[in-house]
Structure 1
């Protein structure tokens, strides 16, 4: 569904619970157009008969589990946190959020279950048609980001993961989340006491591809050559590239370019900021890449993520690009690791299935770390792909990041939340 159609419902839900920050403290996020709660409210307001006749509301993840067990499956508490409907501390539906969304909603949602729980046994259809073992268990399904966390074996609070895909995400784990007006907090799918914290950027690989097509002859080879031939810090050229409306920062589609005249990386004194229409092609490429990771670093720090992280695990298509990894290492000041397999979400789902089976066999929760032994001998292992950047360069990037955030804040004030 087109998320921008649900902005009014987002504001209504936030107002009903006492404001955007209050909703974030309860559910882990302020109201977002793509979340289930605002979309359900829109259906209730515009299609009341359809809402009244709805027996069950499922997420894609729980719906797939339904197919395999031949009955309604619970929504798991990690994916369920991405709905603006669940109390992340109680790991149960929030009465105030439900009431702010639509009447009779809890009955339509069914119960929640922890991610390691068993949803049920395989349906007889799969036993008869595809010869599944009748004792096969179906563990709770979850979303791609929670599964990626499991697949990347992210298990220490000082680690961060950066996934470079259609949307770019930064995520980590914590025992003490601090929900705010940006970012998202979910229960950790592999730790019953911990949480997963995440920042989402809508403009990821498709925006990189758009800049490639416009300024790099539609060639990744040319794109990479431009990135390699331009110096770090880009001569003070800063860009904001939003092919589509952005989540973080909340800005509408558009490109914004600035030159920090007299920027030497040592001080921000005496700078003259000039807005321009376009850079030379190599500078466009570096401004795009540096801009995304400067934003990630700044918002991750503001959200309470480790700064600098002990290590960063990079995944997704762009994580194979050494020039991009070099920029991440220099901006964050951390070693960059990559995984052997790019499909961390599907790998994590398989690992979670095995974890759920172990927990079910024991009759209680088993720390997943017990399954992480001898990682170097498996496809779960990570390898060092790029050492942390030179500390002097890291410090210069920190200065550039400070100025970028100042410009970003001005853009948000000028253009408003989309």
Structure 2
């Protein structure tokens, strides 16, 4: 009798796929790895100043003698990527499991590829690192970055060419800013014509980084492209009038912009042979760090994110933009039919700390008690606290008003504490609404940053916005958003929404709900605040 044949055991299932998110930020290059269940499995980074000290940066940048020009060495970013991938390889990371990767870059930085650089990118040898092979690939060795403020004249020229600052904001989402890429390109063309003539392609930091992985020039995505003063945010194409005012033949140097969810192509064979990436690994368009943070926070329609740090930053998801002279409107990185807005306020935590020291004896407990012991609306007392020149609105000084709109020189300590906090959040709401934000059913306020651990401050935030406040950990939001976008990019073209892909992501924590009387108090107070802000602006100018 023949022995029964034993069938071999089935092969083990392949390990689950992974998704990489990179963040080329000002001071470091970071990577974060997630699996299909959105678990964070690996993180690493390269610090530019300490690990790449031969580039002699401070805070990742070179500040030039005029104090206005601020740049970063483009080859430092290249070398950082070599170093980061080598670290991962030494740690035993299995690159063959990576199904898709994406990334973010500090917004507004620009990279100038030299003539012939595309050939070099196409023919990279896996036997050498990127730094060795790209030595001669850039017509400008130090890239202008977001801290640069040396292009004031070019900003004035651009605004004049299109019909004024507000007209430029209506087209591109922002008035002219010195750090915005179009004005930096214009300055380079005027001051370094030879370098400009020798340029084959202009990338943002984000599309430059994507180009390294692609082995070819990567398109600028709509969202990061919105931070250039060049993209028409409604047609999502380059604005002819802005291009013409900036530089000749600029559309050829920029290439056509693409949706932020686009799959650009497979990873370059260089990474397949040098690090063991799969040939099927896809590169999803990289975007700016602020749009990537919006993705990392999983902000939805009607949501507002408020980062309470040294400066306060407000992120918004909006459907119908109303660009203004303050703030920025960008194309949304996860929904091409929507928009995101960004507002920055210089007088944030440092101003709160000053009032804490002066009115609460340096104690956050006393400061919080003052908020608990004073009524919503502060009996009509309103304060404006601009210790340094504010961005939104452009005013400086401290201004206090009583319930009859009379300016007063002082308030009691407890009233002053509430006047500060209410005033800050009324300002955030007023300027958010001016850009197209509206409170809708289901609106959430997501709070992050240092002051988000103070429940009394968050209660005022909830009351002023008449919306529940949640806290969210944003320590690595740009990197996490890039990894989420890599995962979503693979299914975006088939119509699967970003939020369907991220259903299992951890939820933010509910910390405050609005008082029932908040709408009747603050809807009226907001109108008063807007009128008084106009007065403050006039006083500040005089």
Decide: shared fold, TM above 0.5.
yes
1:204 aligns with 2:348: yes
Residues of 2 paired with 1:234 and 1:51: CA distance?
57
Counterpart of 1:389 in structure 2 is 515
- Stretches of structure 1 that go unaligned for 5 or more consecutive residues are 264-269
1:369 aligns with 2:511: no
Counterpart of 2:446 in structure 1 is 314
Q: Assess, with a 3 A threshold, how the Cα gap between structure 1 residues 95 and 365 changes in structure 2: closer, same or farther.
A: farther
Give 1:337's match in structure 2, choosing from 451, 462, 470. 470
1:406 aligns with 2:526: no
TM-score by length of structure 2 reads: 0.65
1:8-407 pair list within 5 angstroms? 8-156=153-301, 158-208=302-352, 224=368, 227-228=371-372, 231-234=375-378, 236-251=380-395, 254-260=396-402, 263=403, 270-274=404-408, 276=409, 285-307=417-439, 310-317=442-449, 318-339=451-472, 343-359=476-492, 364-373=494-503, 375=504, 378-379=505-506, 381-391=507-517, 393-407=518-532
TM-score by length of structure 1 reads: 0.82
Larger radius of gyration: 2
Residues of 2 paired with 1:344 and 1:32: CA distance?
25
- Contact in 2 for aligned 1:21/1:180 (Cα 8 Å): yes
Residues of 2 paired with 1:413 and 1:33: CA distance?
25
Superimposed CA distance per residue, residues 339-373 of structure 1 (whole angstroms, 9 cap, x where no aligned partner): 366543332221111011223xxx64432233143
Q: Assess, with a 3 A threshold, how the Cα gap between structure 1 residues 310 and 105 changes in structure 2: closer, same or farther.
A: same
- Stretches of structure 2 that go unaligned for 5 or more consecutive residues are 1-69, 71-146
Counterpart of 1:266 in structure 2 is none
Superimposed CA distance per residue, residues 130-150 of structure 1 (whole angstroms, 9 cap, x where no aligned partner): 433343222111123222322
- Contact in 2 for aligned 1:25/1:180 (Cα 8 Å): yes
- Select between 403-412 and 281-290 the one with higher mean Cα deviation: 281-290
Note the C-alpha offset of 1:384: 2.4
- Contact in 1 for aligned 2:189/2:247 (Cα 8 Å): yes
Cα-Cα RMSD: 3.1
Residues of 2 paired with 1:123 and 1:219: CA distance?
56
Residues of 1 paired with 2:226 and 2:284: CA distance?
18
User: Greater helix percent: which structure?
Assistant: 1
Note the C-alpha offset of 1:153: 2.7
Q: Assess, with a 3 A threshold, how the Cα gap between structure 1 residues 272 and 204 changes in structure 2: closer, same or farther.
A: closer
Number of residue pairs aligned between Structure 1 and Structure 2: 396
Note the C-alpha offset of 1:225: 5.2
Residues of 2 paired with 1:202 and 1:58: CA distance?
29
Q: Assess, with a 3 A threshold, how the Cα gap between structure 1 residues 343 and 388 changes in structure 2: closer, same or farther.
A: farther
- Contact in 2 for aligned 1:164/1:314 (Cα 8 Å): no
Residues of 2 paired with 1:220 and 1:186: CA distance?
36
